[in-house]
Each structure stands twice: as structure tokens, then as C-alpha cells.
Structure 1
Amino acid sequence: MTSSNQAEEHLHNHHSSHVHNEASLRKIVNRLSRIEGHVRGIKTMVQESRPCPEVLIQIAAVRGAVDRVARMILDEHLSECITRAAQEGNIETEIEELKSALDRFII
């Protein structure tokens, strides 16, 4: 499987693979890359003993960015995976997996 295929396909707990919208995946991966860079910047700030309020503001920005990516992933899941599961007749399994993931995500 090529790296592009790996980015487009993932497995759920019930092991049915499926492909997501390539443009959506590209947006998600790009945002995650920006978040990764932002976190590295925060690490540098800490190593340079920057003022705590500045560091905390940057951490808050990363938290917001992570929440926005999570929302993008949820939107993609609802529009692609849940819809497909309903068409294929395995909506209950997909909903249970989503509930389980949301239980871990929402504190």
C-alpha cells in the first residue's frame, strides 16, 4: 500500500476498511502538521525560559487547533462513515464505535 493510500484508508474496530474524501484528509493532515510545528515552537519557548503566560497562551492556541481538527474528523466521519454504514446496514456498529470514541474524547 502506498503512503497516499495509507492516508486515505483506515480501519475501524470491526475491521471494515474504507476510503475518505482525499481533499478532506489533506486538510486534516495539513492542520495536524501545523499543530505539530506549533507544539515544537512551544517546546522551544519552554527551553528558552520564556514567560509562563506566553507559553500558556500558545498552549491554549494549540488546544483550540486540536479541537478544530477533531471537529473536522467528526464531520468527515458523520458525512462519510456513518452514511456509508447506514447504506450497508451496519449502522449500529458504527454508532457504538462513535459513542465509545466520544466518551474518551469528551472529558
Structure 2
Amino acid sequence: MAHTKEGRKKLLNRVRRIKGQIDALEMALEQEISDCSAVLQQIASIRGAVGGLMMTVLEGHIREHIGAENISPKQRNADTEQVISVLRSYVK
């Protein structure tokens, strides 16, 4: 998670853009006039945007928690296991 007000603002802006992409996809499917390639492209764009969001949050978590110098080895191991668990569920 972004640990600054500006970081949170950037994440929320990304989420809102993704929401807009999903809303556009929903409208395209409801109207039934979009061709398949346009729908597929929109889905690919959404997937890429979500992946980018995931990487941004993951990088921040690793840098701020796992990579922090002031945490105990026990806490570092717990945080590492948590990230591994999330990554396993993400790539399924």
C-alpha cells in the first residue's frame, strides 16, 4: 500500500481508470454491436491495467515491509510468505 497521501491518490486514480475501462466493456457487451476483436482488446487492456496496479502495490509492499532494515527476521519471513501466497493466487 502506498504509504503517502500522494501514493494513495495515484493508486485510486489507477483504480478509477480501470473502473472506467470495465464500464466501457460492460456497455460494449450490453449493446451487442461491438465486434469481438474490440471486446478482446478491451479485456486485454483491463488485464494489463490490473497487472500494472498489482505490480505497483507489490513493489511498494516489498520495499516498505520486506526490504525494511528495521524488521525482525521473523516478521520478514511472515511478510515474505504472505506475498508468496498472494502471488500464487494471482497467477492461477
TM-score range, shorter chain: 0.7 to 0.9
Which runs of no fewer than 5 residues in structure 1 stay unpaired? 1-7, 9-18
When the two chains are superposed, the root-mean-square deviation of aligned CA atoms in Å is 1.7
Q: Relative to total residues, which structure has the larger strand share, 1 or 2?
A: 1
- With structure 1 as the length reference, what TM-score do the two structures score? 0.75
Distance (Å, rounded) in 1 between the aligned partners of 2:70 and 2:82: 17
Contact kept? 2:65, 2:76, Cα under 8 Å: no
Name the SS of the counterpart of 2:24 in structure 1.
helix
Name which structure has the greater RCO, CA cutoff 8 Å, separation 6+: 2
Which amino acid in 1 is paired with 2:85? Answer: S
SS at match of 1:88: coil
Q: How many aligned positions are there?
A: 89
Residue segments in structure 2 that go unaligned for 5+ positions in a row? none
Return the match for 1:61 from 28, 32, 45: 45
Higher helix share: 2
Identity over aligned pairs, percent: 27
State the secondary structure of the residue aligned to 2:67: helix
Deviations 1:17-61 (A, max 9, x none): xx7232222111110111001100110001111111111111111
What is the CA distance between 1:87 and its match in structure 2? 1.4
